[in-house]
Structure 1
Amino acid sequence: MSTRSTSAAHGDGTVASHAGERDAVLGEPARPGPVLSSVFHLPPAPGGPALDGYGRPDNPTYRDLERAFSELEGGTKVTAFASGMAAISAVLFGLLKAGDTVVIPSDGYYATRPLAADRLAAFGVTVRTAPTLGPYPVEGATLLLLETPSNPGMDVCDLPAVCAAARAAGALVAVDNTTATPLGQRPLDLGADLVVASDTKALAGHGDLLLGHVSTRDDELAAKVRQWRTWTGSIPGPFEAWLALRSLATLDVRLARQAANALAVAELLSARPEVTAVRYPGLPGDPAHEVAVRQMRRFGGVLSAELPDAAFVERMLAASRLASAVTSFGDVRTGIDRRAQWGGDDVPDGFVRISCGIEDTEDLLADLKAALDAAVTAG
């Protein structure tokens, strides 16, 4: 099987629409369907090719997806996983051992914190925490796990500065790039050693599958991460991998509309007297804007804001015809999540994370304005 690839000279839309593509073959579809078999015939003689010998360590469908992610990341070694948490777990458990020290975000994705505090600590790994804005206790650390922009607070870490400090201290840096996506930010180009992402969100983009991946340019790190996947069996399903590969073709246009909508919604909310603490890195005047402009290629479709209270959020959602209450983000449909209801984040009751979809900007603004007005009137 021969494959095609785009070059560094191509734009985001071209790369996304052709990522993971194979050479055209007469009579075959442009993007072959998923290979669902778990067992393949072995080579007739010992020492033959290892590819596709058994479905757990390798599969042609998620190999295509890994190649596509590699093109989006700018040429890297990618290992795909069954979920974002499986990808994070591979970095933490595949690279750390008893006696090591890891620093994780105190304000990042909430599920990472109990995983580290409970399981890593039980295996003899010292766990430190630090907010996205720092300072980071890097002395004596083995690994820093960063998340920027942070989820759900939307703070932005100065990646080149933190990566340089970590390297000077002898620590590796892994960056959760879920919110930004590789089209919004390339942490490996900014000094990081690994990138981890939940592809369940914007990369897949349709709210209908679970996936994750880890990316690196280091052969040894890539081998350790892939070995962890083989040992634990946290592999992506071929059908999910195929769906994600299909979805990547529209990534550039989806992100462009979502980012335009997010900026417009941030401006709308900033002008509302009942809304406070609007955060979006692309918003001029946002505390993260200056750093974000230096290191992000685009600002994404996610923002956060504080509404008066939980009851106000419920009234607004009940009045909206376009926004739904959902706990994921990156979907083509706008979703609003009141984070305090889950208990994992230190946020007020009225704090919401808004994931903008690809609706027409004017329609989305009109809908949210009417929903806010209705929530105010009904209160």
Structure 2
Amino acid sequence: MTRKPSLSSLSINAGAPTPKDGSPFRHGPEFASTFHLSGDVDPEAYQYGRFGQPTWTSLETGLREMEGGDTVIFPSGMSAASAILTSLVKPGDTILLPNDGYAPVRYYAEQYLVKFGVKLKTIATQDIDDFSFENIDIALLETPSNPMLNTFDITKAAQKLHQHGGLLAIDNTTLTFLGQQPLSLGADISMSADTKAVNGHSDVVFGHVSTKDKALSDKIREWRKYSGNIPGPMETWLVHRSLATLDVRLQRMCDTALLLAQELSQHEKVVSVRYPGLESDPSYFIAKQQQTLFGFIISFELANKTVADKFLKACELVYEATSFGGVHSMAERRARWGTDNIPEGVIRFSVGCERAEDLIRDVKAALSKL
């Protein structure tokens, strides 16, 4: 029996057309707001640009191959998250969000969903393994969490939720489908802000939602259709293009991240380091159990705000920016936003594709100036 190729290899051609002499490896973006449509409406035909179009189909096909579930794409990670929390809940339902995860998702729930009768509960990621999930209709959780990289057991959480009739959605942005497979671990939904590593070039804002449950994907797809939260064909094509290099980018970034985390954990100027790949890290056991990669994000604490800002200015290869997952290393003093309950000196560092020795040398040189 022929062994099936790994997801890493399959990602190179995911969603590509069947090879045909004289045809390109991948079609370009299809710019169309409407399509020829005569007579009775064929539900399988392209009709109008807000309903569906060929460039969407290509990427959604590729992401379905990677995620293991029907996929719906969106123009941002936030629109993907809001699609889950809006299309799958009703007044009186209770949603559970992490209080140490991506803050805009909590803001959306607090400012909009609660007004329409949805109940909101929050929980620290480190407390999820011991949580009962009773009376929770849907939980949208992160593992590893952003920015402090705490983890929880996805399979265990899914089993508990299902016992109470609830749904588990996992924000898989920090690892992507090559670093973790939420649907295979029992989650009902896997979502990602593809703005980050999936696209990886800091030039597109994008997101997607995947699920094995057709009833759920139908609701999410319908919400996209009628809310108008649709991606443009050029952005869609750019994200699809980036799938081909995701594996090599991730491997380089994660390998370097482990080396850098080890250096930081031994440095006298660093107060503490969080990285799931360190055996001393609280997230290590669960990360090793359910992740195929430890990730490219490191969160480490320096003495205070002033020291952290000085470090960022001293780095030569690192961009100071509020994102992660790009080919270039990025870092920021995360507390500057006021949305995370963390010390003022915490740096969220996204390792890029620079050579490991160059990046480590740059970081150590910056630390030496503190």
Q: 2:4 aligns with which of 6, 9, 25?
A: 9
The answer for unaligned runs of 5 or more in structure 1 is 1-6
Query: Contact (CA 8 Å) 2:86, 2:113: kept in 1 or not?
Result: yes
Moved more, 132-141 or 159-168: 132-141
The residue type equivalent to 1:212 in the other structure is G
Q: Which residue does 1:251 correspond to in 2?
A: 246
**By how many angstroms is 1:47 displaced?**
4.0
Give percent identity, aligned residues only.
44
The residue type equivalent to 1:52 in the other structure is Y
**Partner of 1:175: helix, strand, or coil?**
strand
Cα distance in 1 for partners of 2:336, 2:124 equals 21
User: Following superposition of structure 1 onto structure 2, how do residues 225-374 of structure 1 map, counting pairs within 5 Å?
Assistant: 225-374=220-369
Cα distance in 1 for partners of 2:160, 2:20 equals 49
**Partner of 1:17: helix, strand, or coil?**
coil
Q: Which residue does 1:101 correspond to in 2?
A: 94
Cα distance in 1 for partners of 2:330, 2:168 equals 31
Cα distance in 2 for partners of 1:113, 1:263 equals 30
Query: Contact (CA 8 Å) 1:51, 1:58: kept in 2 or not?
Result: no
**By how many angstroms is 1:271 displaced?**
0.7
**By how many angstroms is 1:259 displaced?**
0.3
**Partner of 2:148: helix, strand, or coil?**
coil
User: Following superposition of structure 1 onto structure 2, how do residues 97-176 of structure 1 map, counting pairs within 5 Å?
Assistant: 97-134=90-127, 135-136=130-131, 138-176=133-171
The residue type equivalent to 2:235 in the other structure is E
Distance change (3 Å), C-alpha of 1:239 and 1:299:
same
Q: Aligned Cα RMSD in Å?
A: 1.3
Query: Contact (CA 8 Å) 2:312, 2:332: kept in 1 or not?
Result: no
The residue type equivalent to 2:148 in the other structure is G
The residue type equivalent to 1:325 in the other structure is E
**By how many angstroms is 1:49 displaced?**
5.1
Q: Which residue does 2:177 correspond to in 1?
A: 182
The answer for unaligned runs of 5 or more in structure 2 is none
**By how many angstroms is 1:27 displaced?**
3.0
The residue type equivalent to 1:139 in the other structure is E
Distance change (3 Å), C-alpha of 1:11 and 1:50:
closer
Cα distance in 2 for partners of 1:94, 1:8 equals 39
Q: Which residue does 1:89 correspond to in 2?
A: 82
Can you list the C-alpha shifts for 1:222-266, whole angstroms capped at 9, x where unaligned? Answer: 100101100111111110010011111011100000001110111
Q: Which residue does 2:69 correspond to in 1?
A: 76
Q: Which residue does 1:63 correspond to in 2?
A: 57
The residue type equivalent to 2:66 in the other structure is L
Cα distance in 2 for partners of 1:328, 1:104 equals 21
Cα distance in 2 for partners of 1:184, 1:8 equals 21
Q: May I ask how many residue pairs the two structures share in their alignment?
A: 367
**Partner of 2:242: helix, strand, or coil?**
helix
Can you list the C-alpha shifts for 1:171-197, whole angstroms capped at 9, x where unaligned? Answer: 111010000110010111111100111
The reply on whether 1:199 has 2:194 as its aligned counterpart is yes
Cα distance in 2 for partners of 1:104, 1:80 equals 22
> Normalized against structure 1, the TM-score is what?
0.94
The residue type equivalent to 1:203 in the other structure is V
Moved more, 47-56 or 281-290: 47-56
Cα distance in 2 for partners of 1:180, 1:30 equals 27
Query: Contact (CA 8 Å) 2:173, 2:191: kept in 1 or not?
Result: yes
Cα distance in 2 for partners of 1:15, 1:78 equals 17
Moved more, 10-19 or 108-117: 10-19
The reply on whether 1:216 has 2:211 as its aligned counterpart is yes
Query: Contact (CA 8 Å) 2:224, 2:230: kept in 1 or not?
Result: yes
